C-alpha cells in the first residue's frame, strides 16, 4: 500500500487514510513542511481549535465519567460514591437491554438500506443524460430538510388517524398503529430515517462514480459485456473509499442524528415505542433527572462508539483501496 502514489481523490477520504496510516504506524509521504520561525507560533494557530475540543468535548466527557460513579440528587446537594452501581443497574435493566438491541438492529437496517438505495439511485442517475440536473436536484433536495421537519413530514404520512400510509395499509386489511404497536413504530422510524439519509449517500456515490476515469470504463466495456460484472469488478472497488467513508458517517447518523426524528415520533411519551440509546440517555437524564444513571449510559455509549470506530479502521479499512 505504501508504494502506491498518494493522490487526493476526496478530501474526507484522505483524512481516514491518514488516520489509518497513523494507526498502523506508517509514516506519511514526505510533503513540503511549513516552517515557523518561533516554536510557539504553530500552537497559537492550533489554540482556538484545541480550546473548542477541550471545552465542548473533553470537559463534558470527564464530567460524564466522574458523575457516572456517583448517585446524586438532581439539585446537586450531595453525591454518594457508588462505584459501578450505575453501570450494573443500566446493564441489568430490561429497558436498557431492549433499547440496546433495538439500536443495533436499527443501525444495521438503516445503514444497509440507505447505503444500498443511495448507491442504486446514484448508479441510475449517472446513466441519465437528458434532464440529469433535474433528477439530481430532486434527489438531493431532501437533504436540505432538517431532521425534525423530516420527522414531522414522516409522521403526517404515518398518523394513526389520517395518515395516507395508515389508510393504504388499511386497504390491504392491515391495521397500522404507529405509536402503539412496537414494530409498526419501528418500521415508520426506519422509513423516515432512511428517506432522510439517502440524498447524502447519493451525492457522495454520484461524485465517486463520476470520478471513475472514462478510459477505465471503456477498457472494462471491452473485457466484460455484462453490466453487473463491470459494476462488481470495476466500479465497486473504485467506489470503496467513498463507501467506507459513508459507512462510518451512516452509522454515526443512525446512532446519534436520528434523535430529532425519534423525538417527533414518540411525541414526548416513549411508552412502548422503540428508541435508540442516545434518546434513552436524554430521557433518563433530562426528563427523569437521574444524572448518575444517565452519565453511566452515555459513558457506555462512548465506549461502544470508540470500539466500533477502531474495529472499522482495523478490519474493514484494510480492504479499501485508495486509488
Partner 1 sequence: MFKTASTAITLALTASTAYAATDISWWHGMGGRNGEVINEIAQQFNAAQDQCNLTPVSRGTYEEALSSGIAAFRSGEQPNILQVFDAGAATIIAAKGATVPAEDLITSAGESFDRDAFIAGVRNFYADADGKFIGMPFNSSAPILYYNIEAFEKAGVEPPKTWEEFEEIAPALRDAGYIPMTASQLTWMMVENFKSRNNQQFATNNNGYDGFDGTEILVSDDNQKMMFEKLKAWADEDLYGFYGAGWADNLKPFEEGQAAMWIGSSGSFGGLQQSAEFDFDAVYMPYWDAIEGAGTQSFIGGAALFAMAGKPEEENACTAQFFTFLTSPETQFFYHRSTGYVPITEAAYELAKSEGYYDDQPVAEVGIQQLMLEGGEWSKGYRMGFYPQIRSVMEREFNRIFSDEVSVDEAFSIIEEEGNALLARFAKTAN
Q: Which stretch binds partner 1 (CB under 8 A): 3-11, 201-209, 210-218, 283-291?
A: 283-291
Alpha carbons 104 and 99: distance in angstroms, whole number: 9
* 154 sits near partner 1 (criterion: CB under 8 A): no
Residue of 49, 58, 206 whose CA lies nearest to 136: 206
Give me the residues paired with residue 81 across strands: 70
User: How is residue 275 written as a grid cell?
Assistant: 428508541
DSSP 286: I
Q: Applying CB under 8 A, what is the total number of residues that bind partner 1?
A: 35
CA gap 2, 186 in Å, rounded: 45
- In whole angstroms, how close is the CB of 283 to partner 1 at the nearest point? 7
Cβ proximity of 153 and 145 under 8 Å: yes
Q: Choose between 70 and 313: whose C-beta lies nearer to partner 1.
A: 70
Q: How far is the CB of 86 from partner 1 (least distance, A)?
A: 10
Q: Which is nearer to partner 1, 12 or 89 (CB)?
A: 89
User: Is the Cβ of residue 147 or residue 293 nearer to partner 1 in the bound state?
Assistant: 293
First vs last C-alpha separation in the chain: 10
Give the long-range contacts of residues 12-15, CB within 8 A, separation 24 or more.
12/245, 13/241, 13/242, 13/244, 13/245, 13/322, 14/322
CA angle 182, 201, 299 (to 5 degrees): 55
Q: Which residue has the cell 414522516?
A: 154
Q: Closest approach of Cβ 181 to partner 1, in Å? A: 5
> Counting contacts by CB under 8 A, is residue 132 touching partner 1?
no
| By the rule CB under 8 A, 223 interacts with partner 1 | no
The interface region with partner 1, picked from 164-172, 212-220, 230-238, 261-269 by CB under 8 A, is: 261-269
Cell of 299: 459513558
Nearest to residue 91, comparing CAs of 64, 68, 108, 62?
Answer: 68
From 35-43, 52-60, 76-84, 109-117, give the range in contact with partner 1 by CB under 8 A. 76-84
Residue 180 binds partner 1, judged by CB under 8 A = yes
288 binds partner 1 (CB under 8 A): yes
Q: Is 95 in the site for partner 1 (CB under 8 A)?
A: yes
Binding range to partner 1, per CB under 8 A, among 27-35, 38-46, 196-204, 285-293: 285-293
Give residues in contact with partner 1 (CB under 8 A): 71-78, 80, 82, 89, 94-95, 160-161, 177, 179-182, 267-273, 283-284, 286-290, 293
Amino acid at each position: 500500500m505504501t508504494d502506491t502514489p498518494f493522490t487526493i481523490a476526496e478530501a474526507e477520504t484522505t483524512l481516514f487514510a491518514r488516520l489509518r496510516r497513523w494507526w498502523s504506524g506508517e509514516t506519511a509521504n514526505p510533503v513540503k513542511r511549513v516552517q515557523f520561525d518561533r516554536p510557539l507560533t504553530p500552537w497559537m494557530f492550533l489554540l482556538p481549535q484545541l480550546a473548542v475540543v477541550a471545552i465542548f468535548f473533553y470537559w463534558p466527557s470527564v464530567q460524564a465519567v466522574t458523575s457516572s460513579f456517583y448517585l446524586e440528587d438532581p439539585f446537586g446537594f450531595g453525591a454518594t460514591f457508588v462505584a459501578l452501581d450505575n453501570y450494573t443497574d443500566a446493564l441489568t435493566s430490561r429497558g436498557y437491554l431492549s433499547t440496546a438491541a433495538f439500536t443495533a438492529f436499527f443501525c444495521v437496517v438503516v445503514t444497509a438500506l440507505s447505503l444500498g438505495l443511495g448507491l442504486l439511485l446514484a448508479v441510475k442517475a449517472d446513466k441519465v443524460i437528458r434532464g440529469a440536473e433535474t433528477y439530481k436536484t430532486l434527489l438531493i433536495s431532501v437533504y436540505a430538510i432538517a431532521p425534525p421537519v423530516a420527522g414531522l413530514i414522516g409522521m403526517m404520512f404515518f398518523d394513526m388517524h389520517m395518515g395516507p400510509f395508515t389508510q393504504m395499509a388499511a386497504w390491504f386489511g392491515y391495521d397500522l398503529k404507529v405509536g402503539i404497536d412496537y414494530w409498526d413504530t419501528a418500521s415508520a422510524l426506519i422509513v423516515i430515517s432512511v428517506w432522510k439519509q439517502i440524498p447524502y449517500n447519493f451525492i457522495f456515490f454520484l461524485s465517486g462514480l463520476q470520478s471513475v476515469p472514462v478510459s477505465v470504463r471503456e477498457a472494462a466495456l471491452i473485457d466484460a459485456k455484462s453490466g453487473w460484472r463491470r459494476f462488481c469488478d470495476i466500479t465497486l472497488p473504485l467506489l470503496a473509499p467513498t463507501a467506507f467513508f459513508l459507512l462510518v458517517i451512516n452509522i454515526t447518523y443512525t446512532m446519534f442524528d436520528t434523535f430529532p426524528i425519534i423525538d417527533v415520533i414518540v411525541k414526548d411519551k416513549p411508552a412502548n415505542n422503540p428508541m435508540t440509546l442516545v434518546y434513552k440517555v436524554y430521557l433518563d437524564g433530562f426528563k427523569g433527572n437521574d444524572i448518575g444513571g444517565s452519565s453511566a449510559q452515555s459513558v457506555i455509549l462512548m465506549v461502544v462508539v470508540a470500539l466500533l470506530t477502531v474495529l472499522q479502521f482495523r478490519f474493514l479499512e484494510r480492504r479499501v483501496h485508495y486509488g
